[in-house]
Amino acid sequence: MQPPLNVAGIRIGVARAGIKYPDRRDLVVIEAVAGSQVAAVFTQNAFCAAPVTVAKRHLAVVAPRYLVINTGNANAGTGAQGLTDAEATCRALAGLAGCRPEEVLPYSTGVIGEPLPVERLVVGLPAALAALQPDGWTEAAHGIMTTDTRPKWASRRFTLKGRDVTVTGIAKGAGMICPNMATMLAFVATDALVDPATLQHVLHEAVAESFNAITVDGDTSTNDALTLLATGQSGATVPTQGEDYARFAETVREVCIDLAQAIIRDGEGATKFITVQVNGGQDIAECRQVAYTIAHSPLVKTAFFASDPNWGRILAAVGRAGLTDLDLERVAIHLDDVCIVRAGCRAPDYTEAQGQAVMARPDITIRVELGRGAAAARIWTTDFSFDYVRINAEYRT
């Protein structure tokens, strides 16, 4: 895996604050050069974490100069004290960095419902600031991990108006993944010059086809956050439309897809990477409805773990997805290139051996043809294994 590319105007520092475990990288500070623009999306979970609330407040005041991320504690379900602790974190970093507290955005991930050990976090901040460097992306990718088994990063570089433009991102997440905005935590930066409205539009477009198209277990976290920074240090300006805009938007989308897929490949206990492609819907919403019904079915997911071509479970999931007036004779279902269901029932030429051959693969595509329109949607998911149960049963022990 190629190392992440540095982004001009971004420095990153990582420290060991002992927030949950001793001698573990658990505190990350990202510094953006003055004048940087930011776009962000956050969880829609009603029990959003304190740092999410504080970050939203600060974004409404001024563009950030610093992001501070801690692992080991989500600071969620912590009430008024959680908000106080998140604000205290911002004040402490602002005092050390010489900026306003509102110019700091806090992010947390870890166990829900326990008080944030803010004293340890604050003590670790000087070390994180002292470690600031342009090539801190790899260390940061490690520093934001919780149940992840490997760090996740992605980079792209392209030419815009004769200047090189870089887009780099890191993400964390392996469980409690069913975003309704982004993912557990993700941070993307570019050295392009982009106005705030355009940057936010680009982010929303990218999220729809990446972080909002993945699920491990159907659970949306309290802490989900995705932040996109644009430093402008390359000198290349992104227009609001046209070919150059499209090239930039596509590059951001590619980085986000890489990170989102990395989360699925590292899903807790996952042994299969499953693409669910639904075609022929009346609109995208119903295609996604069918796709998520399949992806969230424990019966479907455990069959994939067992490499069992129990195609009836997929058929049943499509049938209970809630589509009105579904014409069963128009429905077809494929496992990779093998048609398992045609005209609403088992395909006459399908054999168990064909299904078994596909199910033994590590990467599998379920393709559903609804035959009722021109819309399509695609999501990515995992199987459910013994290890998924073990990891989540032992999470707090």
**For this structure, is 324 an active site residue?**
no
Length of the chain (residues): 397
H or E stretch covering 93: helix 79-97
| Dihedral of the alpha carbons of 86, 88, 94, 95, in degrees to the nearest 10 | -170
Q: Select which of 71, 166, 183, 215 is catalytic.
A: 183
Q: Please measure the distance between the N-terminal and C-terminal CA atoms of the chain and give it in whole angstroms.
A: 33
Nearest partner of 90 among 137, 50, 130, 47, judged by Cα: 50
Nearest partner of 253 among 212, 207, 191, judged by Cα: 207
Are 309 and 340 in contact by the 8 Å Cβ rule? The answer is yes
- 190: which residues sit within 8 A by CB, 6+ positions away? 7, 165, 166, 167, 168, 228, 229, 230, 231, 248, 252
Are 4 and 162 in contact by the 8 Å Cβ rule? The answer is no
131-168: b (≥16 Cβ within 10 Å) or e = bbeeebbbbbbbbbbbbbeebbbbbbebebeeeebbbb
DSSP 8-state class, residue 73: B
Helix axes 118-130, 79-97, angle to 10 degrees: 30
Are 242 and 289 in contact by the 8 Å Cβ rule? The answer is no
Q: Coil, strand or helix: which one is 268?
A: coil
Are 232 and 32 in contact by the 8 Å Cβ rule? The answer is no
Q: Tokens at residue 40, please?
A: 């962000």
Are 335 and 309 in contact by the 8 Å Cβ rule? The answer is yes
Q: Which residues are catalytic?
A: 183
